[in-house]
Structure 1
């Protein structure tokens, strides 16, 4: 019985090419009590591996968080399996706006302590006492209200390429970093302002809204389904799109466009650009924004040093990496002294 992925990304990509089948990229989450996470994890892997599901799924005692792709012909079978799990029946599926058959190249189902690394002690507050969920139409109305404070609950490299008009975008590296900063900055408005939050698909706001209510904020709202669902509703209902730029996503696509606005700059030359790439030097792999001209000039690298290393024969590069972990820069997405025009 296979319980783990056995194919490399390259092998899987070849199989996808050979199959010639459309795939659907989607995401979902659900907070629920899961007793034996390892058994549940294995159950998901066995069934989804049979359906050729690929993606990254986190399972914890508090619930499940999944980003994945499914062959289009297998979608109904996948949905039936989800519905067979009591707490996942009719769970909202956020379907990606821009599809890519290679958005994921492996099936990874991992047991974690939490489905989102929030750093919170959930025993200290009622995580079920969440904010009011609002759809795109109500969200648009709320953010036009002068008594509303709109907050982006994502990290700096996400909001840099796209965010809602007028939103506060904390310059943070992690979700946990933003929680205390936002509370401190808005402490004078716990009683009198609407605190409206949004994130990619809604999961971060689920916990954050309960946390802020615990901290004394009286009027807490969250965008139901996040940016992904907002974009779908705006298109479906013909609503005014208040979002500027791209929505960062955590798969091989890296982003999907929500509006034609380009609000960020190439980190190397400063010209308007919102294309995230990873440095081609595998010892670096820094995530940053790079325009096509700089990509050609720098051989898809973030610095001259990385360009020189990347030009070496593969075996020499491998020898240089031997015994060394990846630079900490890999965890500081978009932050490096070599990036002259980081926003």
Structure 2
């Protein structure tokens, strides 16, 4: 009984590109107590692997957070399998806006302490006392109120390529940093109407409860996140108040919502919203790079990384520990990439 995908990345990609059927990218989450997360995880892997599902799924005692690619011909069977389980019954599913069917190449299901790393002690506040869930159109209309405080609960690299009009986008690398920063920095806005949003809604669940615990009186969150907002306004023919691209955590790294490009290449400053990972695997920094700079730097974030990938493998291995000791990914971005962007 195989409970893990054992294909290499190259083998998995080759298999994916050889498929003759279409796939649908979707996501969902639910906070629900799972008494035995490991057994739950193993059972899901067997079910979903049999259906040809791919994706990245996190399971914890507090629930499930899933981003997946499902063969179109197995969508009904997949939804039926969800409904058979009481923990997943009637699951609200978010559907991708732009979907080439190549969002994931493996089925990876991991058991973790939490479905989103937030650094919070859940026993210190009521995690079920969440904010008011606003439908996409309710959220859309609330954005016009000048007394509202609109806060993007995502990381800086997500909001850099796309955000709601007039949103406050904290300059943070992780949700763990942001959730406490928001409480501290907006302590004078506890009587204002607060609008929270994130990619699919899961981060706002915990964030809204934490804000309410700290005395914020009117906390609201975008139900279904940016993904559901984009889908509904497209169906209704309404002009989007989200500008730019929605960053997503799969091989696509983003889906355009309104066609605008609001960010710049981190190396030359040209308009660009294409994220990539540095070709130096010992760095692998996520950054924005235009095609011209991609060719110039050979897919690397700096000349230093470009020099490293040109070295023989043996020398790269010897340099690896020194590189990691000298730089963290946030240091690379803030000390070496951002100054170039600011200068441009």
CA gap 1:152/1:17 in 2 versus in 1, 3 angstroms: same
Give the equivalent residue in structure 2 for 1:4.
4
Give the equivalent residue in structure 1 for 2:142.
142
2:185 matches 1:185: yes
CA deviation string 1:93-145 (max 9, x = no partner): 11111113321111111111100001111111111111111112111211111
Q: CA RMSD in A?
A: 1.8
2:28 matches 1:13: no
Give the equivalent residue in structure 2 for 1:217.
216
CA gap 1:265/1:67 in 2 versus in 1, 3 angstroms: same
Give 1:272-291 correspondences, 5 Å limit. 272-291=271-290
Deviates more, 1:94-103 or 1:127-136: 94-103
2:248 matches 1:249: yes
Give the equivalent residue in structure 1 for 2:108.
108
CA deviation string 1:24-68 (max 9, x = no partner): 111100000100111001001111111111111111010000111
Q: CA deviation at 1:260?
A: 1.8
CA deviation string 1:138-194 (max 9, x = no partner): 112111111210000001010001100100000011112112221222211212x10
Answer yes or no: is the 8 Å Cα contact 1:13–1:105 preserved in 2.
yes
Deviates more, 1:303-312 or 1:91-100: 303-312
Give the equivalent residue in structure 2 for 1:30.
30
Q: TM-score, normalised by structure 1?
A: 0.95
Give the equivalent residue in structure 2 for 1:232.
231
CA gap 1:325/1:310 in 2 versus in 1, 3 angstroms: closer
In the aligned structure 2, how far is the partner of 1:147 from the partner of 1:305?
Answer: 47
Give the equivalent residue in structure 1 for 2:173.
173
Deviates more, 1:159-168 or 1:96-105: 96-105
Give the equivalent residue in structure 2 for 1:303.
302
Unaligned runs of 5+ in 1: none
Aligned residues: 341
Give the equivalent residue in structure 1 for 2:195.
196
CA gap 1:305/1:116 in 2 versus in 1, 3 angstroms: same
Answer yes or no: is the 8 Å Cα contact 2:24–2:72 preserved in 1.
yes
Give the equivalent residue in structure 1 for 2:132.
132
In the aligned structure 2, how far is the partner of 1:37 from the partner of 1:264?
Answer: 40
Q: TM-score, normalised by structure 2?
A: 0.94
Give the equivalent residue in structure 1 for 2:92.
92
Deviates more, 1:218-227 or 1:11-20: 11-20
Unaligned runs of 5+ in 2: none
Residue 335 (structure 2) aligned to one of 323, 329, 337: 337
Secondary structure in 2 aligned to 1:69? strand
Answer yes or no: is the 8 Å Cα contact 1:201–1:227 preserved in 2.
yes
Secondary structure in 1 aligned to 2:335? coil
Answer yes or no: is the 8 Å Cα contact 1:27–1:67 preserved in 2.
yes
CA gap 1:196/1:326 in 2 versus in 1, 3 angstroms: same
In the aligned structure 2, how far is the partner of 1:13 from the partner of 1:282?
Answer: 18
